[in-house]
Structure 1
Amino acid sequence: MAPVLSDESERLLQNRSFVAFWLARTSSGFGFQMLSIIVGWQIYAQTHSAFWLGMIGLIQFLPSVMLALWAGHIADQFDRRRVVLLAQICEWAAIVALAWLTWQGDASVGVILLLVFIISTAKTMESPSLISMLPALVPNTILPRATAANAVAGQAAQIVGPALGGFLYATGAEVVYTITAVLYLISLLMVATLRYQQAQPPRTPATLSTLFAGVRFIRARPDVLGVISLDLFAVLLGGATALLPIFAHDVLHTGPFGLGLLRSAPAVGALLVGFWLSRRTLQRNVGMIMFFCVAGFGAATLIFAFSSWMWLSLLALFALGGFDMVSMVIRGSLVQLDTPDDMRGRVNAVNAIFINTSNQLGEFESGMLAAWLGAVPAAAIGGVGTLVVVGLWMWWFPGLRQRQQLANDVQKEEVEALEGDPDRSAL
């Protein structure tokens, strides 16, 4: 018997622009995950140096922080679909160059890092425009489901992409680069077919005032500031996954296979919960649900910290990923719905800086604390810190705690006016 879909689920599946958008993000997501694993393998095979592996992360991190505000300004000043197309063309060309140079045996470490820098720069310029397109493609009522469906694709790419890239590496790095280039070409074609319309504001030069407009907007909106800062500090403190190799070897006494299971558990939990959210709509008490899930993230971190059983550790990491997925969908949808379209690029750029910073600094914080106190106390402190942050944020942001629905009244009026647009309805 075929599953019965709700009217909202059918509208999501029948929206051709969203399907094209989802296919584009899925294809490029899988390609990027495959690319990440192969670049690391290729550089380590040439250098056998952890230093050069660290340089990959640095080269990817710098553009994401240095150019994010410019990328947000561009997303609000120019046609976002064209910005995404141009950025993905640059990424695709760099990947093709990686494939060709590897095939010819001319892919030196310096050349690989240069091309990775080009890809990272283009991806930084692409990200705010790509994220800001989604609310214009689907009606307000199904935006949370669309956000969850995109998150499912991202989690699937994180689970399958590296494994698939590693498996195909046996056939040669150039083969993996070629497949990645094909995936990016599919993404390009899908973006090119999008039926996307964006109101074009008057062009303004990039000044400190326009570049930091997203920061001012976030500071003036307590709910937006609350969800973005909550994500920053919760991830910053709850970075126990960075310590998985230590837990696998010294606490759980397992090998590489066990480490692989531990790394996969959060993504599997997030994937299953994201799939469920793509078929359900959160309609009440979204603020308290978000706080509960962030608290659940902290509690799961605590359980993992003190667990000495493999099955309990896997269960805790599975729950950690599931809780994080729920809060991520709520946070992402709320930021999109509370931000006017002409500000989404700059707000999403600031949000991206917060996310990148929290991920990178969270791993650094966990590593330094573990080196000082040990892995178990470090993870436990992170879990307790996350719970403390939840309590403080519930006190400091009462409006967010009392929030019932994702869309506020102003945004409801804006989106309801757009829902008559045939490009955004079920086609």
Structure 2
Amino acid sequence: MTKLVTTTTAPRMSDALRNREFRALWFAEAQSVLGDHLTTVALSIVVYGRTGSALWAAVVYALTFLPALAGGLGLSQIADRRPRKTVLVVSFVMQAVFVGTMAIPGTPLAVLVTLVVLARLAGAPANAAQNALTREVFADDELYLRSQDLRGITTNIGMLIGLGGGGLLVTSLGPSWALALDALTFLVAAALVQFSVRQRPVPGDPGDGWFSAVRWVWGQRRLRVLLALSWLVGLAVIPEGLAAPLAHQIGASEQAVGWLLAADPVGFILGTFVLSRFVSAQNRKRIMGVLATLAAAVLIGFAATPTLPFALLLLMLAGAAGAYIITVGATFITWVPNELRGGAGGVYRTGLRVAQGLGVALGGVIADLVGSATFTIALAGMAGVVLTIPVAVSWARILKTQ
């Protein structure tokens, strides 16, 4: 059973790892994230090697995201209608089977594409179950928020490792072995959850309407404001999609593209650590609007066509301020009744992914039209400030009523 935190001092991230159930959930997610990066790189290499087509490679890469978006609203609700531990274990095993089949040398391209879609669809209920289960594991709000800090930092470290070493590892092992390794990570995750997380009863009513959680979320003003705060991240990710043209415009080398891509997650990790270590959960709620505005405002500095060091600093500052999104997500899940958290979490995650995808696409279109990556990023910052201020004001009013 989870113990309540009774100390007067705020818990640290390391305190969350003392919980056996969370420790298993965290480690399962961490090594699955690393495995997913391997799969993405391996698939790109396999598809491009067979077809010689950059378009096909891009299409398959897009397919690693699109099923998760499509399944986020629908399949995530399975986490409210079945025992969440069972959902996690079954989803992990299914993903292991699909990815393991991809690892078979010579698998036809059409089968490979189908397996990509199926694997990502199987991941939608797993994500929903994991988010809802993590909230159930902790009785203390402060400790739960620290667990989300740890998850956020871990995910971004996994991203950095994937960016820095994913390609090298795939080329060293070969795509088939990399895919097989990813399949193994899912089996390890399934075993960890099976033997370390206790079974809980079905949280929701199977007789409820399939989209009851979606309707409930939209009926709650405070949750709509939290969703709006999360969607603003769509503007903050625009620099990621423009890393290559940005490096060219500021006179940096091709190697700097990787640095520009890494700057935001590095800043995010630092910002999350500072918030987790020095700011209480309640105060973090109070400053969410300020940090969201700051994350956008920093990007306006690109209007000056910065040097590479200054560009990296701006991106790190934007990433650090963007760490507010962890508090947004944790507050959202906490304010949703347990029996609806699977479906509601699907709404949140899907909206976030769609906003990020649209932001990157929009940034590319505008950059092509104006012929400047730096101006496009600065424009995104200005738009972000204009859009964030009214949302931040609405959030401040909501907090006064809590």
Aligned-residue offset at 1:397? 4.0
Q: Tell me the distance in 2 between the aligned counterparts of 1:181 and 1:63.
A: 18
Residue 281 of structure 1 deviates from its aligned partner by 4.9
Q: Percent identity, please.
A: 21
Gaps of 5+ in 1: 1-5, 409-427
Partner of 2:159: 158
Q: Residue in 2 aligned with 1:175? A: 177
The 1:341/1:263 distance shift into structure 2, 3 A limit, reads same
Q: What residue is the counterpart of 1:115 in the other structure?
A: 115
Asked if the contact 1:238–1:301 (Cα under 8 Å) also holds between the matched residues in 2, the reply is: no
Letter of the 1:399 counterpart: R
Q: For 1:37-116, what aligned pairs fall within 5 Å after superposition?
A: 37-99=41-103, 101-102=104-105, 106-116=106-116
Q: 1:76-124 deviations in whole A, cap 9, x for unaligned? A: 111111111111111111222122x12xxx1332232122112111112
Q: Residue 252 of structure 1 aligns to which amino acid in structure 2?
A: I
Structure 1 equivalent of residue 362 of structure 2? 365
Q: CA deviation at 1:238?
A: 5.5
- Contact kept, 8 Å, 1:145 with 1:280, in 2: the verdict is no
Is residue 2:294 matched to residue 1:296?
A: yes
Structure 2: stretches of 5+ with no match in the other structure: 1-8
Is 1:376 aligned to 2:374, yes or no? yes
Q: Measure, in 2, the Cα distance between the counterparts of 1:393 and 1:129.
A: 29
Conservation of the 8 A alpha-carbon contact between 2:96 and 2:186: yes
Map 1:139-154; keep pairs closer than 5 Å: 139-140=139-140, 141-154=142-155
Question: Do the aligned partners of 1:31 and 1:183 also contact (CA within 8 Å) in 2?
Answer: yes
Q: CA deviation at 1:133?
A: 0.8
- Matches of residues 193-232 of structure 1 in structure 2 within 5 Å? 193-201=195-203, 203-205=205-207, 210-232=209-231
- In the TM superposition, what whole-angstrom CA distance separates every residue of 1:382-427 from its partner, at most 9, and x where no partner exists? 1011101121113344434548xxxx6xxxxxxxxxxxxxxxxxxx
Larger mean CA deviation between 218-227 and 348-357 belongs to 218-227
Contact 1:239 1:382 survives alignment (8 Å): yes
One-letter amino acid matched to 2:35:
G
Pair 310,350 (structure 1): closer, same or farther in 2 beyond 3 Å: same
Q: Which amino acid aligns with 1:88?
A: F
Give the CA deviation at 1:279. Answer: 4.0
The answer as to whether partners of 2:48 and 2:57 remain within 8 angstroms in 1 is yes
Query: What amino acid is the match of 2:110?
Result: G
State the Cα distance separating 1:237 from its structure 2 match.
6.6
Relative to structure 1, the CA distance from residue 346 to residue 53 in structure 2 (aligned partners, 3 Å threshold; closer, same or farther) is same
Instruction: Pick the aligned partner of 1:260 from 258, 261, 283.
Output: 258
SS at match of 2:295: helix
Q: CA RMSD in A?
A: 2.2
* TM superposition shift of 1:204: 2.9
Question: Are residues 306 and 193 of structure 1, via their aligned partners in 2, closer, same or farther at CA, if it must alter by over 3 Å?
Answer: farther
- Check 1:186–1:377 CA distance in 2 against 1; reply closer, same or farther (3 A cut): same
1:18 and 2:22 are equivalent in the alignment: yes
Per-residue CA deviation, residues 46-103 of structure 1 (Å, 9 max, x unaligned), is 222122123124423432233223223211111111111111111111222122x12x
3-state SS of 2:232 partner: helix
1:315 to 313, 316, 319: 313
The alignment covers a number of residue pairs equal to: 390
1:58–1:133 distance in 2 versus 1, CA, 3 Å: same
Q: Would you say 1:355 and 2:362 are equivalent positions?
A: no
Question: Is 2:237–2:360's contact at 8 Å kept on the other side of the alignment?
Answer: no
Structure 2 length-normalised TM = 0.90
The answer on whether the counterparts of 1:75 and 1:83 sit within 8 Å (CA) in structure 2 is yes
The letter of the residue matching 1:8 is P
What is residue 414 of structure 1 aligned with on the other side? none
Compute the displacement of 1:18 (Å): 1.0
Query: Partner of 2:280 in structure 1?
Result: 282
Deviates more, 1:372-381 or 1:350-359: 372-381
Q: CA deviation at 1:228?
A: 0.9
Partner of 2:35: 31
